[in-house]
Structure 1
């Protein structure tokens, strides 16, 4: 029996100033880690803000267990779902210990050294301010602060983007070993491959492909997923195939990826409906051709 997802988006449309930027997105945050992949401006962080209750949908619902977020017990929600933003989210005026203690009831603030130790930091760092720490140390403080209330789910928005490769590896090891469910917002395919069993690819505020992370990255069925994968340099491989960047097609004018797609045909002037294909869900008229090319490369 499949467990009920802790968080679920149901045909959610989001926007600012009455202008929609995320369009009818549906996804479940399930066990094993969920990745939300896409370039800057694709709508990932906007969707994360809605999952955190910081942005009200224009239409659709965010579900927390069996209740919509509007009707949920917000105290329980804030305990169960915690954000982990980039290290720069720390208040530069507060000492590390005070930042972590801020999430704790007064009677539990003695746990600060324990929480710092849990993320691999020396408890003596509690007396320092953020500028006295390295980028990796600051990111661990952010994680310690989120763990203070023993959440069931971490929503991580580009948690390693400002870190060098060595520090990234240590932070990823930490996140992988926590045993806490996670929704990871990123453009880094290596990070999502490491931390997420399932992934969703966003382009121009729409989900274009969803499925098991390993299959989705090894054999993409949407040309945008393929473009993201091919943009990652590989040692000894051919250089990434450059293609001029263009804006997405205007809303309501067919497939939004059409101006950038090397496979676009006349049928792409009508918007593709998401459909099931080879164990994933994809919105592309030519998904079979993309998948066949990927299978040929693997074989």
Structure 2
């Protein structure tokens, strides 16, 4: 079942669009938005949370546009999980978690802390008295307080060390809640998301099953992201193409950085079906075979 859907959504700040006619569904099994900084991931997440109105297109919540939906039900069903720094430093942990609960249910704070693997006694502490991993668990507990059906997670492990990351990922994988994950960490999206969408310069350039997309990319940008991940004991990653080039203003936005660019790339490619995924690349078949 699709709870949230973007339909030809263009988003921007002022009059400058930064996300261009993106269409995607948030479906069961977890959905990942992958891309480097500035690719439009967080801007799209803000639209899914109702914090940013589209310049054109619509965000759909169930069977109606979000702008016409029951916002009270939406806020209960869809909750953000920001990075741990989002906690109010002046507020004790218990009060922070209890904010979303009705007064009669505030005895559940200890239960929620236990659900995310924390000692209920930590409710009396302030954020600066907790470790980074503990603070991130508090953020998750606060999001779970209203019983959401979907969590929207924006880089939930980026500020944590590797061992703490693993514990947070175990927790998220065990939750009976759907998730939209915004990240540049391919290992995290592979662990938590059945489907992924790769964004470059505010456009979806590849979509499909996460395992297939990462094992055998069909877009040069997806392959560049995968190849940039260091492998333990292996050689240092080697960049392909001009990594410093800005996105092209016309045609394929990746063409100035692409090692496979040809004159045809001066024409913007449309998303098309290639080997079980959707790809916006004239040379997708060559990428798969190389």
| The two structures share one fold, judged by TM-score above 0.5 | yes
Provide Cα deviations, 1:133-166, integer angstroms capped at 9, x if missing partner: 0000000000000000000000000000000000
Provide Cα deviations, 1:224-280, integer angstroms capped at 9, x if missing partner: 000000000012333211253211111xx1000011100000000000010001100
**Alpha-carbon distance between aligned partners in 1 of 2:145 and 2:22, rounded to the nearest angstrom:** 31
Structure 2 match to 1:144 = 141
Show the 5 A alignment for 1:83-232: 83-232=80-229
Q: Is 2:71 aligned against 1:74? A: yes
Show the 5 A alignment for 1:255-266: 255-266=252-263
Match among 19, 24, 44 for residue 22 of structure 1: 19
Unaligned runs of 5+ in 1: 294-299
Structure 2 match to 1:65 = 62
Q: Is 2:288 aligned against 1:291? A: yes
Structure 2 match to 1:42 = 39
**Alpha-carbon distance between aligned partners in 2 of 1:191 and 1:130, rounded to the nearest angstrom:** 25
Provide Cα deviations, 1:193-221, integer angstroms capped at 9, x if missing partner: 00000000000000000000000000000
**Alpha-carbon distance between aligned partners in 1 of 2:125 and 2:23, rounded to the nearest angstrom:** 43
Structure 2 match to 1:279 = 276
Q: Is 2:61 aligned against 1:52? A: no
**Alpha-carbon distance between aligned partners in 1 of 2:222 and 2:106, rounded to the nearest angstrom:** 45
SS at match of 2:260: coil
**Alpha-carbon distance between aligned partners in 2 of 1:257 and 1:238, rounded to the nearest angstrom:** 26
Structure 2 match to 1:249 = 248
* Alpha-carbon shift at residue 179 of structure 1 (Å): 1.4
Provide Cα deviations, 1:97-139, integer angstroms capped at 9, x if missing partner: 0000001111111100000000000000000000000000000
**Alpha-carbon distance between aligned partners in 2 of 1:179 and 1:97, rounded to the nearest angstrom:** 23
**Alpha-carbon distance between aligned partners in 2 of 1:91 and 1:37, rounded to the nearest angstrom:** 28
**Alpha-carbon distance between aligned partners in 2 of 1:245 and 1:34, rounded to the nearest angstrom:** 29
**Alpha-carbon distance between aligned partners in 1 of 2:89 and 2:246, rounded to the nearest angstrom:** 37
**Alpha-carbon distance between aligned partners in 1 of 2:22 and 2:234, rounded to the nearest angstrom:** 35
**Alpha-carbon distance between aligned partners in 2 of 1:212 and 1:237, rounded to the nearest angstrom:** 26
Q: TM-score scaled by structure 2?
A: 0.98
* Alpha-carbon shift at residue 8 of structure 1 (Å): 0.2
**Alpha-carbon distance between aligned partners in 2 of 1:265 and 1:51, rounded to the nearest angstrom:** 36
Unaligned runs of 5+ in 2: none
**Alpha-carbon distance between aligned partners in 2 of 1:248 and 1:151, rounded to the nearest angstrom:** 37
Number of equivalences: 288
**Alpha-carbon distance between aligned partners in 2 of 1:211 and 1:292, rounded to the nearest angstrom:** 18
